[in-house]
């Protein structure tokens, strides 16, 4: 059975916050805001503490080659410090990377959700499921399809008639190391991308947003000549 291709989602705080609110996040807890650049002065404008970062990037041959190389290394060597509680979802729905990225950001950020909301239901219905089973649940239930469609249609750009796109979302979250909270390197940056073979441990961090920016520079910008990059941060809401 073929899976419907969703409309691509904009990496726009207004769109992402609308999606999150409709899905069940109490937005007073946390909101998405633009990251206008990777220089220290621009990173300093972002409200702290940052809980997660969403990056929209253009897929290129160089980035695809790097992805395959990293996935092969992870498959052969493993990631011994990766915490098992990190929630990762395999992407099987075309153009659903925006919703997958939002789920990765919100479900790994110690947030609470409105009871019986789509986010609360997804957590409850996916307990103990594999990443592939979570993906199947997204395919076969309407929990997020309508929310995604509404958010994608409410952006600043016209909905494209050609739904093929080379732009893709990935997410960076903070996660504890299995070493424990008091050990050196006890908190790590984890990259979550539904197209990968699993979560990617990017190592320990000193300042989460600053170190994510360095990863984006070294891993993504260094392997692309495109300017079609955009980044948003999930940070304190009005009640923080």
Contact 200, 181 (CB under 8 A): no
For the record, the structure tokens of 89 come out as: 């979802």
Which position among 97, 104, 126, 171 bears the catalytic label? 97
Cis, peptide link before residue 49, omega less than 30° from 0: yes
Contact 65, 228 (CB under 8 A): no
CB neighbour list of residue 47: distance below 8 Å, 6 or more residues apart = 33, 233, 235, 236, 240
Told to judge if 104 belongs to the known catalytic residues of this protein, a careful annotator would answer no
For the record, the structure tokens of 205 come out as: 């961090």
Burial class, 162, CB count within 10 angstroms (exposed 0-12 / middle 13-18 / buried 19+):
exposed
136 phi, psi to nearest 5 deg: -65, -35
Which position among 104, 126, 148, 168 bears the catalytic label? 168
The residues annotated with a catalytic role in the active site are 97, 168
């Amino acid at each position: 059975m073929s899976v419907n291709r969703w409309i691509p989602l904009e990496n726009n705080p207004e769109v992402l916050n609308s999606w999150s609110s409709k899905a069940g996040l109490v937005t007073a807890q946390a909101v998405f805001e633009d990251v206008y650049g990777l220089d220290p002065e621009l990173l300093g404008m972002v409200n702290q503490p940052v809980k997660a970062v969403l990056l929209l990037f253009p897929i290129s041959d160089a980035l695809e080659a790097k992805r395959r190389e990293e996935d092969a290394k992870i498959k052969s060597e493993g990631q011994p410090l990766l915490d098992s509680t990190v929630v990762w979802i395999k992407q099987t729905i075309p153009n659903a990377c925006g919703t997958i990225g939002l789920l990765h950001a919100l479900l790994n950020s110690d947030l609470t959700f409105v009871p019986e909301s789509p986010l609360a239901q997804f957590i409850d219905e996916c307990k103990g499921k594999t990443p592939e089973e979570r993906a199947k649940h997204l395919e076969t239930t309407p929990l997020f399809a309508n929310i995604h469609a509404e958010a994608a249609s409410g952006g600043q750009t016209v909905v494209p008639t050609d739904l093929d796109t080379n732009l893709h979302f990935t997410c960076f979250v903070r996660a504890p190391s299995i070493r424990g909270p008091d050990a050196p390197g006890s908190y790590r940056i984890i990259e979550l991308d539904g197209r990968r073979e699993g979560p990617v441990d990017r190592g320990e961090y000193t300042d989460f947003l600053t170190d994510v920016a360095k990863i984006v520079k070294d891993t993504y910008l260094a392997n692309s000549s495109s300017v079609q990059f955009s980044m948003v941060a999930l940070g304190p809401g009005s009640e923080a």
